[in-house]
Amino acid sequence: MRVSLKDVAEKAGVSIKTVSNVVNNYPHVTPAMRARVQQAIDELGYRPNLTARHLRKGRTGIIALAVPELGNPYFAELAGAVIDAAAEHDFTVLLDHTRGRREQEVLVSQGFRARVIDGLILSPLELEAEDLQGRPDDVPLVLLGEREYDAPHDHIAIDNVAAARAAVRHLLSRGRTRIAYLGARTDSANRPAHLRLVGWREELKTAGVPAPDELVVPVDGWDRDDGARAMARLLDAGVRPDAVFAFNDLIAIGAMRVLHERGLRVPWDIAVAGFDDIAESRFGAVSLTTVAPDKQAIARMAVASLLRSLSGRSEPGGRELIAEFRLVERESTLGRR
Amino acid sequence: MRVSLKDVAEKAGVSIKTVSNVVNNYPHVTPAMRARVQQAIDELGYRPNLTARHLRKGRTGIIALAVPELGNPYFAELAGAVIDAAAEHDFTVLLDHTRGRREQEVLVSQGFRARVIDGLILSPLELEAEDLQGRPDDVPLVLLGEREYDAPHDHIAIDNVAAARAAVRHLLSRGRTRIAYLGARTDSANRPAHLRLVGWREELKTAGVPAPDELVVPVDGWDRDDGARAMARLLDAGVRPDAVFAFNDLIAIGAMRVLHERGLRVPWDIAVAGFDDIAESRFGAVSLTTVAPDKQAIARMAVASLLRSLSGRSEPGGRELIAEFRLVERESTLGRR
């Protein structure tokens, strides 16, 4: 006969709740208690079945998280945070990457895995509002990230305009007046500018500092190589900023590599600020000043939003949920202390 | 009535196979063909159901991948490769991280999600061979990584000893004779040494170069911070190597940061080589020489191994499958060219 949680609890002489805490690897269990429960588990040969509870509710216990690119540390770190946040509610995470392609994002958002997931967290890049029409409403959807949609789904983001302004304000406070924005879209003809570009422009305007077009630098993508190529193009065109604000840390890191190769010193010749606070930004010869979104909060809010929908408590219109950010000042703007 | 693949094919005037290729986002479909099929999909409101095929075979179409830490770019990059390899066979990937904790690895390997997955790819850190006994054999398991188990499961790895020897041989060829190994386990009392440490020792012995214990440096973990702390401890103890071979790139990157802070020049004062070839290693002020395992091959082999088991073609004993590696020589050993 199958060994139950109750059998383990009786054998160990503890409550079922305690066994559950150990099995689910929750904190707040003392090592001694953990060892005692583990011994009972080992002796009885208990195999936990985390899905049973979900199955009783007609759920699979799986939520999907779709991000553009797992190779981008921001999304990998965010995925880790979502996995942890989901585990606290006994949910596991089906992870997918869309390569930021609209057709993949449409597939994911239209629920091509609807039979196996209870909910979806999607961080879109190319998805359009119309793509969200007509999707099945039995799989709740939460949207993450900079893009805003007029759609009846919760959307979780930081205040990207305010965050970009904070970074630019910091560069201005370091005496910089020719601050390039590295990371404009090359195909931005018929879509709104990135909120981070909006923030760059607004802050410069407020400070009465010119924001010429030559300082708005397009990129082909969001990776280190794209930042390196964009920086090289800018310098080759004879444009010489005294600071760079990059759309994300990867672009900033690529740009810094090119500055180093050209013998330009960061921050003395050109200061650099990024966005995301990926772990890598604390290392390298020059650590990177960056905007740090609260990834743990974003993950917790996303999972909580799905749980709210699953229990029928979501509001019909969708909510705009704002997570915190902070500016982390490091050597790429302050120099070596 | 539900729109089928056949309806789309008729509307677009193409074969069902072509529609399937578009829906599954396979390459080798021309943009024109893709647009034509997409138009039919849009007009008919077709929603692909990738799981139906699996369900007919009694499968869920989901395989799980459990790695120690998604925040480690090696595992994030590997996960991306596994997701892509799985997608080629219409499988999606349930991703989990174990934090490298034995109890989590046991939970995962014992199939606590057996009802929702068809197979499991596990990259263990702390799992012991005994933990694999008595696991249900209806969910095939493939093991990845450096650790070797006497267990009836396919195991996919590179030749870690040969790879470490190649890195050390390269450092020797650069005239280095005091090569530290950064990344020994602190709790290695009752377990075999890492194969990479074995390779370090063997190559030095072959070259007739001393391998004193003071050059074997333990780490608390596998992240950049751990590498930085270990390097600082070594230098503070007055030990001065002329090269460092690190267990992985993250440790090497942490070590290089400390060398930079102390005014030691890489590679002139101390050369550094890592392991993993994460994207980050190509950037920074000094790009990193490193061993590059063929991650795409590892991912493809892991998925192929699971498919083999699922179709009942696996051999009972488990196979040892070896992927290729290459040494990528960069500035941390060659200097700036």
B181-216 CB burial, b ≥16 within 10 A, e <16? bbbbeeeeeeeeebbbbebbbbbbeebeeebeeebb
CB contact under 8 A, A107 and B279: no
> For the structural domain made of B57-158+294-325, what CATH number should be given?
3.40.50.2300
Residue with tokens 């602190």: B186
Q: What is the pLDDT of residue B185?
A: 77
Please say if the pLDDT value at position B207 is more than 90.
yes
CB contact under 8 A, A69 and B55: no
Find the helix or strand (DSSP H, E) in which A55 lies.
helix A51-56
Q: Tell me the mean pLDDT in the region A283-305.
A: 96
A15 to chain B, any CB pair closer than 8 A? The answer is no
B38 to chain A, any CB pair closer than 8 A? The answer is yes
DSSP bridge partners of B220? none
Q: Tell me the mean pLDDT in the region B302-319.
A: 86
User: Which fold does the domain A57-158+295-323 belong to in CATH?
Assistant: Rossmann fold (3.40.50)
Q: Are B132 and A69 in contact (CB under 8 A)?
A: no
In angstroms, how far is the first alpha carbon of chain A from the final one?
Answer: 66
- Cα A141 to chain centroid distance, Å, stands at 16
Residue of A108 and B142 predicted with greater confidence: B142
- Residues with Cβ < 8 Å from B299, sequence gap 6 or more? B78, B81, B82, B84, B85
A83 to chain B, any CB pair closer than 8 A? The answer is yes
CA torsion sign, B116 to B120 to B123 to B126?
positive
Q: Round to whole Å and give the CA distance between B303 and B88.
A: 10
Q: Round to whole Å and give the CA distance between B77 and B290.
A: 16
Please say if the pLDDT value at position B59 is more than 70.
yes
- Closest B-chain CA to A105: B25
Please say if the pLDDT value at position B275 is more than 90.
yes
B295 to chain A, any CB pair closer than 8 A? The answer is no
Q: Are A302 and A82 in contact (CB under 8 A)?
A: yes
B316: number of Cβ within 10 Å: 5
Q: What is the pLDDT of residue B98?
A: 82
Name the residue among A38, A62, A280 with its Cβ closest to that of B280: A280
User: Shortest Cα distance from A56 to chain B (angstroms)?
Assistant: 13
CB contact under 8 A, A80 and B70: yes
Q: Which CATH number fits domain A5-42: 2.30.30.60, 3.30.450.20, 3.60.20.30, 1.10.260.40?
A: 1.10.260.40
Chain A interface, best mutation among B120, B266, B280, by max A CB count within 10 A: B280
Q: Are B102 and B124 in contact (CB under 8 A)?
A: no
What residues of chain B lie within 8 A of the CB of A60, using their CB?
116
Instruction: Give start and end residues of each alpha helix (H) in chain B.
Output: 5-12, 16-23, 31-44, 51-56, 73-87, 102-109, 160-173, 195-207, 224-236, 249-261, 295-310, 331-334
Q: Are B276 and B263 in contact (CB under 8 A)?
A: no
Chain B interface, best mutation among A19, A47, A55, A121, by max B CB count within 10 A: A47
Q: Round to whole Å and give the CA distance between A278 and A256.
A: 15
Q: What is the pLDDT of residue B332?
A: 98
CA atoms within 13 A on the CB side of A226: 19
Please say if the pLDDT value at position A333 is more than 60.
yes
Percent of chain B with pLDDT over 70: 91
> B298 — phi, psi (to 5°)?
-60, -45
Q: Tell me the mean pLDDT in the region A322-335.
A: 97
- Give the least confident one: A102-116, A149-163, A237-251: A102-116
Q: Round to whole Å and give the CA distance between A223 and A254.
A: 8
What residues of chain A lie within 8 A of the CB of B38, using their CB?
103
Mean pLDDT of the residues in chain A:
87
- Residues with Cβ < 8 Å from A62, sequence gap 6 or more? A91, A92, A93, A94, A116, A117, A118, B94, B116
Find the helix or strand (DSSP H, E) in which B184 lies.
strand B179-185
Please say if the pLDDT value at position B277 is more than 90.
yes
The class level of CATH for B160-293+327-334 reads alpha beta
Residue of A245 and A40 predicted with greater confidence: A245
Q: Kindly indicate the confidence band of residue A27, based on its pLDDT and cuts at 50, 70 and 90.
A: low
User: Shortest Cα distance from A254 to chain B (angstroms)?
Assistant: 7
Please say if the pLDDT value at position B246 is more than 60.
yes
> For the structural domain made of B5-49, what CATH number should be given?
1.10.260.40
**C-alpha distance from residue A249 to each of A187, A252, A271 (Å):** 21, 5, 14
Q: Kindly indicate the confidence band of residue B327, based on its pLDDT and cuts at 50, 70 and 90.
A: very high
> B123 — phi, psi (to 5°)?
-110, 95
Residue of B140 and A267 predicted with greater confidence: A267
- Give the least confident one: A81-90, A174-183, B17-26, B70-79: B17-26
pLDDT tens string B213-235: 999 999 988 899 999 999 999 99
Please say if the pLDDT value at position A57 is more than 80.
no
In what order do the strands lie in the sheet containing A325-328? A216-219, A179-185, A243-246, A271-275, A289-293, A325-328
Beta-sheet strands, E only, within chain A: 62-67, 92-97, 119-122, 141-144, 154-158, 179-185, 216-219, 243-246, 271-275, 289-293, 320-323, 325-328
- Give the least confident one: A260-269, B203-212, B271-280, B312-321: B312-321
CB contact under 8 A, A92 and B113: yes
Find the helix or strand (DSSP H, E) in which B156 lies.
strand B154-158
Q: Tell me the mean pLDDT in the region A6-19.
A: 84
- Give the least confident one: A81-90, A296-305, B12-21: B12-21
> B78 — phi, psi (to 5°)?
-65, -40
Q: Tell me the mean pLDDT in the region A168-183.
A: 97
Q: Round to whole Å and give the CA distance between A167 and B169.
A: 46
Name the residue among A23, A80, A257 with its Cβ closest to that of B97: A80
Q: Where are the domains of chain B?
A: 5-49, 57-158+294-325, 160-293+327-334
Q: Tell me the mean pLDDT in the region A313-334.
A: 91
**C-alpha distance from residue A95 to each of A88, A92, A196, B53, B119 (Å):** 17, 10, 27, 21, 16
Q: Kindly indicate the confidence band of residue B48, based on its pLDDT and cuts at 50, 70 and 90.
A: low
Q: What is the pLDDT of residue B193?
A: 65
Q: Kindly indicate the confidence band of residue A122, based on its pLDDT and cuts at 50, 70 and 90.
A: very high
A337 to chain B, any CB pair closer than 8 A? The answer is no
Please say if the pLDDT value at position B11 is more than 70.
yes
Please say if the pLDDT value at position A188 is more than 60.
no
> A243 — phi, psi (to 5°)?
-160, 155
A296-318 CB burial, b ≥16 within 10 A, e <16? bbbbbbbbbbbbbbbeeebeeeb
- Cα A293 to chain centroid distance, Å, stands at 8
A61 to chain B, any CB pair closer than 8 A? The answer is yes
- Give the least confident one: A71-75, A93-97, B12-16, B196-200: A93-97
**C-alpha distance from residue A64 to each of A78, A94, A116 (Å):** 13, 4, 9
Find the helix or strand (DSSP H, E) in which B142 lies.
strand B141-144
Percent of chain B with pLDDT over 90: 52
User: Shortest Cα distance from A241 to chain B (angstroms)?
Assistant: 20
Q: Round to whole Å and give the CA distance between A66 and A79.
A: 9
Q: Tell me the mean pLDDT in the region A27-44.
A: 81
Name the residue among B70, B134, B283 with its Cβ closest to that of A224: B283
Q: What is the pLDDT of residue B152?
A: 86
Q: What is the pLDDT of residue A173?
A: 98
Q: Which of A20-24, A140-144, A190-194 has the highest mean pLDDT?
A: A140-144
Q: Do domains B57-158+294-325 and B160-293+327-334 have the same CATH topology?
A: yes
Find the helix or strand (DSSP H, E) in which A11 lies.
helix A5-12
Q: What is the pLDDT of residue B184?
A: 84
